[in-house]
Structure 1
């Protein structure tokens, strides 16, 4: 079983806890009842470090803890970010102003949905427990 369920921009403060944690937990419990062999989950890069300070990461990592302690074999995929998420940066740049952390030197390698799907399948088939994935091209915010 694969889950990419999550919310990018919740409408209220409980959105991450309700969907990223609660929704995936409900899927996990159903997977256990159904006798699913492996549960592959797309979390977030640096989730353990961000837990407690970023609500999204907190919800995702709470679920990761449930998954790891479950009876199912698991694969946790930690992508760097998505090209689709870069639209916000491009829209700001088109308006002449773009907010970034630091001086714009930070390097990023967003991944496409297609490449992430391949990485997820490969990771689950190989049986790896956890993997970080990113796209092949590295960019800065400059």
Structure 2
């Protein structure tokens, strides 16, 4: 068992990774910019340490005695960037991960696990891909044995994307869907991603590997929302809004302190990046959860 620090360990994905690692017997440290706010949100036995990837001076103390780092950092209100607050992909996920990797190298960390994203590859130009490419390069060139995961759309309790559709189904007579509803996605249950991260720490085959990982089903957005409605036991028509119109409506919202949507976030939502699970299933032996089963928390 190892001493594992999860950067972003109080966030949606990070907190599930923390719980899985703790259940597997690791000593787990959750790093957060504001650990005081996270008190009571994580299980007993998890140590909270302050660390901010925007401030390199905080990372050395946070990494003291750490053997493994799992980087699952996200900026607040993701995927809507807020440049005035420094909440952008490049600043947080890109430059922040570069600082964390360098601090991990100085601290003698023996393994680094990074949460990238589906579709990350050379030639991509969207800001989220540029940030992921910057971070992946730093991880690979660090000299630290690593594992990189490129997950598809991750859902589960506390997520702020698929659960928005559930909220719409509860309060509206219809469920709004951006675009045609034909965008194809492989929704990935957060517990499966956490299981893959945990399995990678004990798998020699996972050292210095990059894994795509998505759910077992490739579904359109309409199929995803209809599956969610069936699980909830509700009937609602789907109302499709043209992407261009939604972008136009989102443009003025960017002046708000925490805008609910932005034109770039619309592009993020409509991203179609299929993944191949062959390698992750072969090397890590995990089981992928069908969407209807993963959504059982909505019943």
TM-score tier, shorter chain, comes to 0.7 to 0.9
Q: CA RMSD in A?
A: 2.3
Corresponding residue pairs, total: 139
- What is the aligned counterpart of 1:75 among 129, 141, 147? 147
Judged with a 3 Å threshold, the aligned counterparts in structure 2 of structure 1 residues 97 and 50 are, in CA distance, closer, same or farther, namely: farther
Q: Normalising by structure 1, what TM-score?
A: 0.82
- The higher-RCO structure (CA 8 Å, 6+ apart) is 1
Determine the C-alpha separation between the residues in 1 that align with 2:92 and 2:193: 21
Q: Are 2:168 and 1:97 aligned? A: no
Match of 2:29 in 1: none
Determine the C-alpha separation between the residues in 2 that align with 1:50 and 1:133: 21
SS in 2 for 1:136: coil
- What is the aligned counterpart of 2:94 among 16, 21, 25? 21
Structure 1 residues 24-63: aligned runs within 5 Å: 24-48=97-121, 51-52=124-125, 54-63=126-135
Moved over 4 A (4+): 88-96
* Contiguous gaps of at least 5 residues in structure 2: 1-68, 223-299
* Contiguous gaps of at least 5 residues in structure 1: none
Match of 2:163 in 1: 87
SS in 2 for 1:48: coil
Judged with a 3 Å threshold, the aligned counterparts in structure 2 of structure 1 residues 61 and 91 are, in CA distance, closer, same or farther, namely: farther
CA contact (8 A) 1:92 1:98 kept: no
Give the number of the structure whose alpha-carbon radius of gyration is greater.
2
Q: In proportion to residue count, which structure has more strand?
A: 2
For residues 24-56 of structure 1, give each alpha carbon's deviation from its aligned partner in whole angstroms, at most 9, with x where no partner exists.
11111111011111100000001115732x101
